[in-house]
Amino acid sequence: MRQLTTGDCDPFWAVFNRELVTPVFVGLWLLWQAARGRNALPKGRELGLLLAVGLLIQLAGNVCVQWSLGVVGLAVTIPAMFGAMITCGAIIGRVWLKERVSTRSIVAIAVLLGSLALLGVGAEASGRSIATAKSIAPDPLLMVLGVAAAGLAGAVYALLSATIRRSVTGNTSPAAVAFLVTLMGVVGLGPICLYRLGLPTMMDTPVEQFALMIAAGAFNLVAFLALIHGLQRTAVFHANAVNASQVAMAAVAGLALFAEPPTAWLLLGVCLTIVGIASIDRPAEAVEEIPPP
């Protein structure tokens, strides 16, 4: 998805094509299940909640991340997103799902908040580098908004995690959750892409970009199903913490693959993010402090 930003691919169009992969393949699976008399889709309020959160995720989550990647880069976007995701996940899990967070994890959250501040400072160099590569004038406000967009995405992803946790610990199957959430990307973003780009421009997308979007969709399918199954087995806070292991990988990828500048603020912010994630207690260590929901 970061590579797509170097070709000025529209963020709405990029997310639409990536999200299209999951409802196609999982939808075929659900149709096969339905033909066998197994209706896996939820009904009533549960269905409405998943559809509403799914649409919010596409518009305020996935699109924000894609836009942020093109403004401040991979090494800033992913740590900022996960810092906000873990922090908001702990709050939402505590208030909505009654999941308790240990003192050790509260300290880890404070460290993560500090890392977000450092990443905001370090975003300027990354943003300038990307602006120079695109032959446009650097805009400090735009760089701040890039970090803010990543943080907003992290907050809505935390809401998604809590919604998934609530659904899959009930009667909703992981496949149904994956289908409904990604389906809203197709339903919600399709008309926006048509309005913004027009059908001729959409069809003129280079084959290389289509290949990248479909590849991203395949990886997203596997990762999303894995995350949903993880949320079926552990609390939101811990699932998000384990999921955030990609922070270090994203930072290395941003520096190595896209020549994003390794400033002291950026490296310190990424390191602090990793320290905060590593400081979060594991479920096995928190059995006495964090009862099951």
Residue-wise pLDDT for 200-232, tens only, equals: 999 999 999 999 999 999 999 999 999 898 888
Give the Cβ contact number of residue 191 at 10 Å.
11
pLDDT interval class at 288 (50, 70, 90): very low
Count of helices and strands (H, E) across the chain: 13, 0
List all residues 6 or more positions away from 98 whose beta carbon is below 8 Å from its beta carbon.
293
pLDDT of residue 179: 94
Give percent above pLDDT 90 in the chain.
Answer: 34
Phi, psi at 156, each rounded to 5°: -75, -30
- This prediction has a pTM of 0.81
pLDDT of residue 82: 80
- Mind listing the pLDDT tens digit for each residue in 249-266? 777 777 777 777 777 777
**Rg (the chain; Cα; Å):** 19
Contact between residue 65 and residue 153 where contact means Cβ atoms under 8 Å apart? yes
From the list 112, 127, 133, the residue with the least C-alpha distance to 263 is: 127
Comparing 16-25, 58-67, 274-283, the range with the smallest average pLDDT is 274-283
pLDDT of residue 287: 40
Ramachandran region, residue 280 (left: φ > 0; alpha: ψ -120 to 50; beta: rest): beta
From the list 267, 4, 254, the residue with the least C-alpha distance to 129 is: 254
Amino acid at 141: L
Mean pLDDT estimate for the chain:
82
Residue 292 pLDDT exceeds 90: no
Dihedral sign, CA of 93, 169, 160, 104? positive
pLDDT interval class at 291 (50, 70, 90): very low
pLDDT interval class at 176 (50, 70, 90): very high
Residue 244 pLDDT exceeds 80: no
Please return the burial class of 98, using the count of CB atoms within 10 Å of its CB with bins 0-12, 13-18 and 19+: exposed
Question: For residue 42, how far is the Cα from the chain centroid?
Answer: 24
pLDDT of residue 211: 95
Residue 276 pLDDT exceeds 70: yes
C-alpha span between 103 and 53 (Å, rounded): 30
Contact between residue 15 and residue 63 where contact means Cβ atoms under 8 Å apart? yes
Q: For residue 38, what are the CA distances in angstroms to 77, 169, 204, 228, 262?
A: 41, 18, 41, 20, 52
- DSSP tag of 62: I
C-alpha span between 149 and 118 (Å, rounded): 16
- Mind listing the pLDDT tens digit for each residue in 121-157? 666 666 667 766 766 666 778 888 888 999 999 999 9
- In the block, which residue shows the tokens 């873990």? 86
Contact between residue 236 and residue 165 where contact means Cβ atoms under 8 Å apart? yes
Comparing 69-78, 244-253, 271-280, the range with the smallest average pLDDT is 244-253
